[in-house]
Every structure is written in C-alpha cells, then in structure tokens.
Amino acid sequence: MYKIKVSLLTKFFLSLFILTVISCSKKEDDPEPLNKEEFIQGNFGDEFLRYKYPYDSTTLSPEVPKNFSNSYEANSGNGVINMIRTETIDVTKGIQITIVGIDLDKAVLPVKFNLDNSSRGFVEIQLRDYFAADTIYGKNDSVNFIGRSNQAITLILQSKEKDYVTGTFYGKISSQSGLTKEISNGEFRIQLKR
C-alpha cells in the first residue's frame, strides 16, 4: 500500500510540475494576435464609406494576378502597393489606393506621402463606381473620383506587421466633370500578398 501512495503522489507532483512549466512558457511580451479585419474607410464628402471586400482583379483582365487587390511588388526598392476594396461582395462601388516608390522591407515608418514629399514616391486614390464603366474618367464622369499625393492627397503609412499595413489618408479627390469630394478620417488596414 505504501508503494501505491508514493506512486500516486509522484504522479501528482509530476503532473503539477508539467502544468507549471506549460503555463509559464508564455512570455509577458508575446504580442496579441492581430485583428485580421481588413478595410479602407473614411468620410468622403458628407458620407462615411467603409470598403471591406477584396476586389476580384481577374475581372479587369485574365492577366492581372488574383491578389492584385492587396499586393506588394518590391521592384528593386521602388515597390508598388495596391489595395482595392469594394462596398459589397457583388462589386458595385469600390476604392483603390496605390502607393508607388516604397521599399516596404526597408522603410522607416511612418512614411508620409504628399506634395511636400513628392521625391519619396506618390499615392493615387480612386473612388470608383464599377457600374458606370461607360463613363469612367471621361469628361462627363461625375461618379468616379481620383486624387494624387502630388496634388491634394496626403497618406501616412503608419505600420507594417506580418505584412498587415495600416495608415491614414485625407485630402481632395475630383471627377473629370469638375466635382470634388473632401476626404477626412481616412484609414486602412490590409494584409499584403507578395
């Protein structure tokens, strides 16, 4: 009977030791998992818009890679980031942000793109209505808007963690017919594919 008690007591303490080691193995500074929600949102004129669905870029052309809607191409240090999101799954309206001239792996963040920093690269923001394809960017187009950092757009690329990029943007976009929209409180969080 004495051997049984010792064996049970040994098993108990061994189990307790293993549980202690396992529970202490997590470091205090381990980062919390990233919020994986992806979006581009902001106030565009007098309406708040939130775009969260990736655009199936193969609809542009079969040659366009499927991950074009959240891609990063390094291009020897002169990289290009494309972020495209739509309002709904069935692609009615969307937004595209393109950042040209960034080495995402070497960039010291935050990086600001605007008229004052035009030597760093540039940003283009397009607010699109995909059902207005017959008038896109024509002289009578009053539903598709575009703006660039070498004109009136400011974008700040704030962070990159595990290829999730976050940032803010603001400024003015305009249509070919002369309409303008002021962007305020613009922000994005997108996971890029390489």
Would you place residue 192 in the very low, low, confident or very high pLDDT band (cuts 50, 70, 90)? Answer: very high
Instruction: Classify residue 10: in a domain, yes or no.
Output: no
**What is the domain range of residue 57?**
37-191
- Answer whether residue 8 is part of any domain: no
For residue 52, the model assigns a pLDDT of 93
In a domain, 121, yes or no: yes
In a domain, 75, yes or no: yes
Query: Could you tell me the pTM of the whole model?
Result: 0.78
Does the pLDDT at position 183 exceed 60?
A: yes
- Look at the chain and report how many structural domains it folds into: 1
Alpha helices in the chain (DSSP H): 2-24
Look over the chain and give the mean of its residue pLDDT values, rounded to a whole number: 81
pLDDT digits (tens, 9 = 90+) for 36-54: 799 999 999 999 999 998 8
Give domain status of residue 55, yes or no. Answer: yes
* Span 125-144, average pLDDT: 79
Residue pLDDT, tens place only, 137-176: 678 888 899 999 999 999 999 999 988 999 999 999 999 8
Residue 22 lies in a domain: no
**What is the pLDDT at residue 54?**
87
Note whether residue 74 is domain-resident.
yes
pLDDT at 115 over 70: yes
Q: Count CA within 13 A, CB hemisphere, residue 163.
A: 12
Q: Which amino acid is at 34?
A: L
Spatial neighbors of 48 by CB under 8 A, at least 6 apart, are 41, 42
Q: What is the CA radius of gyration of the chain?
A: 24
Query: Are 167 and 128 spatial neighbours (Cβ–Cβ below 8 Å)?
Result: no
pLDDT > 70? residue 35: no
